[in-house]
Amino acid sequence: MAVVSAGALGLDLLRFRLSWLNRQFVRWLAPLLKREEDRRITGATFMVIAALFAFFFYGDEVAVPVLLFLSLGDPTAALVGRRAPGPRIRGKSPVGTAALIAVALLVIGALVSTGAVEYHWGLLVGAAIAGLVELVSIPPDDNLTIPLIAGAAMYLLGV
């Protein structure tokens, strides 16, 4: 994880210094990038850095669920939230947040039923916190803050 994190961060920093590399990077990966990722660290880089820290600081029992909350729940929140009518909080839909939490609960159910993790009520708290962090969009990026904040809560609760 450390090598992948360093490589991803190194590539992002290098492409900011070499405009031709950044143009090629954006051209090749345009369908996968958010509009602003042509001039900032990508969500994928933040995610691998978050995975490194989650596994290192919290262990498998927390890192696996919280990274699945992010990798399955965050895209679901975006897809549902964009289409949902109603109020927005910092540009995010509470309906999208509810979708992330629902996916996180499904993840917990799947992990517990397969024996991959042992049930602990802190998993449910982690799912709720992941949704809250997604909703309020704590900088620098959800792909970093969701696993670190929800993971810290789960870890502190004894998951």
Which tens digit of pLDDT belongs to each residue from 28-85?
A: 988 888 888 888 999 999 999 999 999 999 999 999 999 999 999 999 999 999 999 9
Whether the CB-CB separation of 73 and 104 falls below 8 Å is answered with yes
Residue type, 5: S
Q: What is the C-alpha separation between 144 and 44, in angstroms, rounded?
A: 9
Mean pLDDT of the chain: 95
Whether the CB-CB separation of 43 and 37 falls below 8 Å is answered with yes
Q: 150 in helix, strand or coil?
A: helix
Whether the CB-CB separation of 73 and 100 falls below 8 Å is answered with yes
pLDDT of residue 140: 94
Segment 150-155 shows an average pLDDT of: 98
Question: Domain coordinates of the chain in residue numbers?
Answer: 46-156
Q: What is the C-alpha separation between 158 and 33, in angstroms, rounded?
A: 36
Segment 104-127 shows an average pLDDT of: 98
